[in-house]
Amino acid sequence: GENVEQHPSTLSVQEGDSAVIKCTYSDSASNYFPWYKQELGKRPQLIIDIRSNVGEKKDQRIAVTLNKTAKHFSLHITETQPEDSAVYFCAASKANFGNEKLTFGTGTRLTIIP
Amino acid sequence: NAGVTQTPKFQVLKTGQSMTLQCAQDMNHNSMYWYRQDPGMGLRLIYYSASEGTTDKGEVPNGYNVSRLNKREFSLRLESAAPSQTSVYFCASSKSGGRGDNEQFFGPGTRLTVL
């Protein structure tokens, strides 16, 4: 089955600096890569996703890049703010009908230092 | 819309007791999922239901059973609870159906402690 590795497990950055979280996946058939943000005591929520036919996607201060050849994808957060402090999870799946299970990474705890 | 709802929010069980976690969604989604979240291990899929009437095992199904009661509801049952099942349980749903609507929406979670 799919295996997703995520690094680093913890990350502290100064407010206003950029943060980068990296994930690798094992199954070359995976084609959908979402990122979820989970605030303390809350449910995970989708912040951005990318499909394998696209190399990069951006939404305001967050962006995701995908390298299919190397089987890795990354989350980039620019101009970080205190409200970006949370745990971030990457995931991968083969997004075909009836087979859309997500395999999650183990999470990155991001702390923004004011 | 309430989205995805779960009951109960908290539960304490003794080893060997049984219980059912309830999940419902009002978004007319086809697929539903049960995950458990343990510190340092991310979210692991227990069971999922790609569509009404179907269920399949995920990564960690042992000790659990599920029922897709109808399109809205997907329950998770622990027949004989063990301390290793102490965890936070999340239900999720997605529209799916092969249309590229893959976003999974999560419920608020159930914090289960087995003594």
Tens of pLDDT, residue by residue over A31-86, are 999 999 999 999 999 999 998 888 999 999 999 999 999 999 999 999 999 999 99
Taking CA atoms, what residue in A is nearest to B89? A43
Nearest to B98 among A97, A102, A105 (CB): A97
CB spacing of A103 vs B109 below 8 angstroms: no
pLDDT band at A98 (very low <50, low <70, confident <90, very high): low
The reported pLDDT for the residue numbered B49 is 93
Averaged pLDDT of chain B: 93
The reported pLDDT for the residue numbered B50 is 86
Which DSSP helix (H) or strand (E) runs through A60? none
Taking CA atoms, what residue in B is nearest to A9? B40
What are the phi and psi torsion angles at B105 (to 5°)? -105, 130
Nearest to A43 among B41, B42, B109 (CB): B109
What is the spatial distance between Cα B83 and Cα B14, in angstroms, rounded to a whole number? 8
Query: What are the pLDDT digits (tens) for B71-109?
Result: 999 999 999 999 999 999 999 999 876 556 688 999 999
Q: Is A34 on the interface with B (CB under 8 A)?
A: yes
> Exposure string (b/e) for A55-91, b if CB count within 10 Å is 16 or more?
eeeeeeebbbbbeeeebbbbbbbeebeeebbbbbbbb
Nearest to B42 among A49, A101, A104 (CB): A104
Q: Are B23 and B76 in contact (CB under 8 A)?
A: yes
CB spacing of A98 vs B107 below 8 angstroms: no
Cis before B61 (ω within 30): no
Residue B21 pLDDT > 90 = yes
With a CB cutoff of 8 Å and minimum separation 6, the contacts of B19 are B11, B13, B77, B78, B81
CB spacing of B97 vs A97 below 8 angstroms: yes
Question: How close, in Å, is residue B99 to chain A by CA atoms?
Answer: 8
DSSP B36-86: EE-TTS-EEEEEEESSTT--EE-S--TTEEEEE-SSSBEEEEESS--GGG-
* Contact residues, chain B to chain A, C-beta under 8 Å: 31, 33, 40-45, 48, 50-51, 54, 58-59, 90, 94, 96-98, 100, 102-104, 106-109
Query: Which residues of A, range 36-65, sit inside 8 Å of B by Cβ?
Result: 42-46, 49, 51
